[in-house]
Chain A
């Protein structure tokens, strides 16, 4: 990934835009050339010219993605000390550490667009930036850790695989790393579900209960239906996105329903039917009001997640300060 320092130089070197008429014509030509590069499947790299809206869209999307990974550590971190065995505990620790790593790859990718990580973190802490609605649901039982790995990471993988071919190079490269690691997450989750589903009646009930609570929020992870999605048009044209929300949701359902059946669990959708002609599973209506409520900050855990994140930032301040002071002292000694 390129560096912020380089981007700052590039901004200084922008030509004088005193004449807005000339700037407009120049931009139209550049925009057309940019679209031609995208259409030819060329990757855009940090210091290449790009439309302001492309830059802004990417900063928003990549930083929200990063925030989601970081906030996503909380629901699972909740069960590290209570994992049922050392094997499960080691796996969960590694998984939560991966989520942190994913957040950091993504912040670094966003920074190549000329924005500082500190600025992005401030946007999260002030509530200006959003993160995935799914992490505002609680993890009530150990089965929820299975359901998160299987369903939440499964949905994330559906979303992230096409992002490996995103037109913006640093984002695509970060996604390739992330996808490689997510595969372990989903498998460990499904293994937990399988163990519970093959256990006692009570354990099987726990697995079913987790599926019941996580199924619909997972379908909402793909975002609003295509008929109302605001950001899709330019994102598709610029190949930031390659599939619509509804297309990805359908892929997820088609992949996941047979996995639920293998577990002997029931998908909590009475309207779910298999359409033999198209080969797709058709789902019942999604409660978009619930989604809107959670995005607006009124989900079951929004306040708790933000309070925890702010507390962590505050608690870590002295560590950052000490590390900076130590580095400063050593620099002074060397000079």
Chain B
């Protein structure tokens, strides 16, 4: 009988305090404890991090790249959300 596949996890690492966790890669592990240990061995062999998150890959919901137009267009057309949209006379100084 072929072996069942071992679940996939996504690894996020905080490189130092003050920075947020960032996606580092993926790995396979049967459970969260082993996933954390594997992430330590695989992604932090040279002091790359001070904190690790592991998340089961199938727990992530992602937006569809094919629909990125519809998804993100509304932000592109709202120029009034940016400070440069508003005209302030030079005499007022930096604002």
> What residues make up the interface of A, taking CB atoms closer than 8 Å to B?
1-6, 10, 13, 45, 47-49, 94, 97-98, 101, 104-105, 108, 111, 116-118, 173-174, 177, 181, 317, 320-321, 323-324, 326-327, 330
Closest to A331 in B: B31
Known contacts A3-B57, A5-B58; decide if A323 and B30 are in contact (CB<8 Å): yes
Q: In the complex, A111→B6 CA distance in Å? A: 13
Q: Does B79 sit at the interface, judged by CB under 8 A?
A: no
Closest to B68 in A: A48
Q: In the complex, A52→B29 CA distance in Å? A: 30
Minimum C-beta distance from B63 to chain A (A):
9
Q: When the two chains form their complex, are residues A97 and B45 in contact, meaning their CB atoms are under 8 A apart?
A: yes
Q: When the two chains form their complex, are residues A321 and B25 in contact, meaning their CB atoms are under 8 A apart?
A: no
Q: When the two chains form their complex, are residues A3 and B34 in contact, meaning their CB atoms are under 8 A apart?
A: no
Q: Which residues of chain B come closer than 8 Å to A104, judged between CB atoms?
A: 27, 42
Closest to A322 in B: B30
Q: When the two chains form their complex, are residues A324 and B4 in contact, meaning their CB atoms are under 8 A apart?
A: yes
Q: Which residues of chain A come closer than 8 Å to B76, judged between CB atoms?
A: none
Q: In the complex, A2→B55 CA distance in Å? A: 12
Q: When the two chains form their complex, are residues A47 and B65 in contact, meaning their CB atoms are under 8 A apart?
A: yes
Of A108, A181, A320, the residue contacting B6 (CB under 8 A) is A320
Minimum C-beta distance from A167 to chain B (A):
15
Q: In the complex, A4→B5 CA distance in Å? A: 12
Q: In the complex, A3→B10 CA distance in Å? A: 8
Q: When the two chains form their complex, are residues B23 and A1 in contact, meaning their CB atoms are under 8 A apart?
A: yes
